[in-house]
Structure 1
Amino acid sequence: MNRKKEILTIILWPLLYTLGMGLSNYIVYQFYHIEYGGDGYINAMLPFLAALAAGTMICLFIQRERLTLPWKERGRLPLFLVIFLPLAALTLYYLLTNGSFTYAFIAPLAVTLLVGVAEETMFRRILFIRLLGLFQERGFKKALLISAVCFSLLHAVNILGGSPAPQVLMQLAATFVAGLFYVLMFDYTRNIYLLIIMHFLWDYILFSGATKQIPVYAVLMGILQAAEIVIMLVLLARKWRQDASAERT
Structure 2
Amino acid sequence: MKNPSIQNYAALAFIYTLLQGVGMAIMHWGWNINYAIGQRFVYGVLVVEIIVAILIVFFVTRYASWREVGYDKISWVNTLWVLPFLIASGIITVTIFRAALQPGVAFSALVGVMAAALLALIVGFCEETMFRGIVLRGALLRHGLFVSILISAVAFMLLHVVNVLGGNPLSDMPSHLSSQIWYGLLMAPLALKIRNLIPLILVHAMWDFSSLATNFVEINDGGLINGAFVAGPLLHYGIMIAILLVLLFERKRYAS
- Measured against the shorter chain, the TM-score band is 0.7 to 0.9
* Structure 1 alignment gaps of length 5 or more: none
Q: How far did 1:126 drift? A: 1.4
Partners of 1:73 and 1:92 lie apart in 2 by 26
Partners of 1:58 and 1:32 lie apart in 2 by 27
1:29 counterpart SS class = helix
Pair 1:124-2:132 in alignment: yes
Which runs of structure 2 are paired with 1:17-96 in the superposition (5 Å)?
17-36=16-35, 38-39=37-38, 40-64=40-64, 67=68, 74=75, 76-96=78-98
Partners of 2:45 and 2:117 lie apart in 1 by 12
Partners of 1:207 and 1:221 lie apart in 2 by 14
Q: How far did 1:71 drift? A: 8.1
2:199 to 185, 194, 198: 194
Q: How far did 1:35 drift? A: 1.7
Q: TM-score, normalised to structure 1's length?
A: 0.85
* Structure 2 alignment gaps of length 5 or more: none
Q: Which residue of 1 aligns with 2:187?
A: 182
Partners of 2:71 and 2:94 lie apart in 1 by 34
Q: How far did 1:245 drift? A: 11
Aligned-pair Cα RMSD in Å: 2.9
Deviations 1:121-166 (A, max 9, x none): 111121111211333xxx1111101010000000000111121222
**CA spacing shift, 1:70–1:30, aligned 2, 3 Å:** closer
Structure of higher RCO (CA pairs closer than 8 Å, 6+ residues apart): 2
Q: Which residue of 1 aligns with 2:243?
A: 235
Q: TM-score, normalised to structure 2's length?
A: 0.83
Q: How far did 1:44 drift? A: 1.3
The residue identity in structure 2 corresponding to 1:223 is: A
Identity %: 23
2:8 counterpart SS class = helix
Pair 1:213-2:215 in alignment: no
